[in-house]
Amino acid sequence: MLEIRGLSAAIEEKPILQGIDLTVPQGEVHAIMGPNGSGKSTLAYVLSGREDYVVTAGSVTFDGRDLLAMAPEERAVAGIFLAFQAPIELPGVGNANFLRTALNAVRRARGEPELDAVQFLRMARTETKRLAMPEDMLRRNVNVGFSGGEKKRNEVLQMSILRPRLAILDETDSGLDIDALKIVADGVNTLRGPEFSALVITHHQRLLDHLVPNRVHVLAGGRIVRSGGPELGHELEAKGYSGMVAEAA
């Protein structure tokens, strides 16, 4: 489903990704772990189409389509969703309006009928309840005045409503307490199925205890230095990144 071949990328002429090869088959959840500065977030941004990153080599296909040739909104309607590490505040934009506009843009592109306000709110209320979010989060401006945990849950809410086929979670666990972490993991787990894949970027094994991946990849220095099953996360926790990166070198 997602095929990354020899992907290199730079920001402001500084190379960050240096030849990434990665395949995420349909229906699988893959974790990407790695130290700070290894290029995890850059990978997430490049896959979702942020324009200030320049791809210098390699290719990415999604369902056989050239992902790198698509605008961010085209990737989104094709089924890619990035849960931001630092969700953006949108003063003056109501959360419900934002979510409905996004959902209807996606539905329109998929040839599905748009939802009116009543249909949308019924659906959104069900999802907020499931994520244990206060209902007034729909009335507030997007991420404005939200706590760190609320912002992360709001990302998961968007994901639950947009129902992507590939979710990229960029450190969605950071800044969450244990209860919130479980809620977020449950949010992803309920989407799991043959039609849903995820790339979970995290520093810690903690999230992976609740969201067990099919594969774990270790990213260091802009390359994948090791790949393995879920046990690799535990090994990392025991040895630390420095031990593993040294071994791989």
Partner 1 sequence: MTAAVQTGVAGFLARYEALRYLLPGDPLQRAAAAEAFRRAGLPGATSGRREEAWKYTALRPVADASFLQSTVESAGDGTVLAQLPPLDAPRIVFIDGQFRPELSALPAAARFERFAHHGSFGALARPDSEPLVALNTMLSEDGALLSVEPEVDAGLLLLVSVASDGAAFHPRHDIHLRRGARMTLLELSVGDGCYLHNPVFEVRVGEGASLTHVRLQDESPAAFHLSTLYAQVAEGGSYDSFALNLGARITRTEAHARLAGAKGFTHLNGAQLLGGSQHADFTTVVRHDAPSCSSRQTVKNVLAGRAQGVFQGRIEVARAAQKTDGYQMNQALLLSPDAEIDTKPELEIFADDVKCSHGATVGELDADQLFYLRSRGIPDAEARSMLVRAFLAEALDAVTHQAVRGVLDRAVEGWWERQAA
Provide the binding-site residues for partner 1, judged by CB under 8 A.
48-52, 71-73, 75-77, 81-82, 84, 87-88, 90-93, 98, 101-102, 105-106, 109, 158, 162
Cα–Cα distance for residue pair 231/235, rounded to 1 Å? 6
Which residue, 101 or 227, has its beta carbon nearer to partner 1? 101
CB of 19 to partner 1, least distance (A): 25
Q: Are 138 and 128 in contact (CB under 8 A)?
A: yes
Shortest Å distance, C-beta 32 to partner 1: 18
Which C-beta is closer to partner 1: that of 197 or that of 205?
197
Nearer to partner 1, 50 or 192 (CB): 50
At closest approach, how far in Å is the CB of 11 from partner 1? Answer: 13
Looking at beta carbons only, is 116 or 179 nearer to partner 1? 116
Closer residue to partner 1, CB minimum distance, 117 or 238: 117
CB of 143 to partner 1, least distance (A): 9
Q: How far is the CB of 181 from partner 1 (least distance, A)?
A: 23
The residue among 48 and 172 lying less far from partner 1, judged by its C-beta, is 48
